[in-house]
Amino acid sequence: MVMVGSYADLLSLGRSMTVEIAGQNCKIYYYYYDSNYIQVPVLLLHGVNGNCRNFDSLALFLISNGFNIITLDYPGRGNSEYLKDKELYIHDVYLCVIRDLLQSLEIKKVYCVGTSLGGLLALQLYKKGVKVKALVLNDIGPYVPIERQKKLAGYLYNNYVKFNTLKEVSKYIRFAYAMSGIDLEQDWRHLIRYSVHKENNGSFILSYDKLVVDKLYEDSVSGEVIDLWDDWRYLQYKKVPVQVIRGGLSSLFTTDVLTKMQEIKPDTDVVTFDSLGHAPMLTDIIQKEYILKFLKNIFLH
């Protein structure tokens, strides 16, 4: 059995596979821990400008409590390859990549935790034949008002910058994630380290493709609305257990959307962290324990 108890141990699990996207071979980075007795793995899906390292704290916690973990960098993020055509940075491409990864590992069903974009993808996995046995949506619902989309897209579009020093990176990241609930300095340092790539000239650049935010911005300006209410109704029809985590000050996930979600699916388990924004980083022990309790309850029943 592989023993995993630190961030370094998780890094040692890193692997890659090649998928074909619109005729282009694309290397996808992922890690999979499968030595625990709870055989259905927890699939961790990151946000639009994140990567799989965002989940390392939660992954270690869940592994220590008996769960297996699988997570990946979407195309254009982290250690996965970037795409040449920004029009390919869309939900359907990400869903196909996730499906192909799970199929390559012979995984047919998962528990799933999705932050922001990751939650939107999790809502749609069934369309690709992936069985989601339970779902945790982190600060996202099936509908995002267009003005909220524009605000997020505009921020990312206007703040894709390069840095000369890690001190500059630290200042930027600590400001950008100030309302995400990170308390421990080790978690801040981990986030800062894996939010950037170091370039050959010694400068640093954010660890996602600029074309990702270009596409996001163009879609928001064109008025393309995120509306997955039918997918939410499908979860209710299939009686999939769902936990929703919301930052009380979220800039993306409104109370109106949450209320409608509860009307459609009354058994939704809702946890709100009043002082947090978009999106809780899930590094805090209280946040992690809520997720663990929810998943263990599903496993035991």
Alpha helices in 12-109 (DSSP H): 56-64, 91-104
Characterize 119-144 residue by residue with b for buried, 16 or more Cβ atoms within 10 angstroms of its Cβ, and e for exposed: bbbbbbbbebebebebbbbbbbbbbb
CA 141 to mean position of chain CA atoms:
13
Write the single-letter amino acid at 203.
S
State residue 2's pLDDT score.
62
Residue 206 has pLDDT above 70, yes or no: yes
State residue 155's pLDDT score.
95
Domain 7-145+226-300 in this protein, CATH class: alpha beta
Over the stretch 251-271, which tens digit does the pLDDT of each residue have?
999 999 999 999 999 999 999
Over the stretch 14-35, which tens digit does the pLDDT of each residue have?
999 999 999 989 999 999 999 8
Residue 210 has pLDDT above 70, yes or no: yes
Which one, of 111, 81, 85, lies nearest residue 97 by Cα?
81
Lowest-confidence region among 6-15, 234-243, 279-288: 6-15
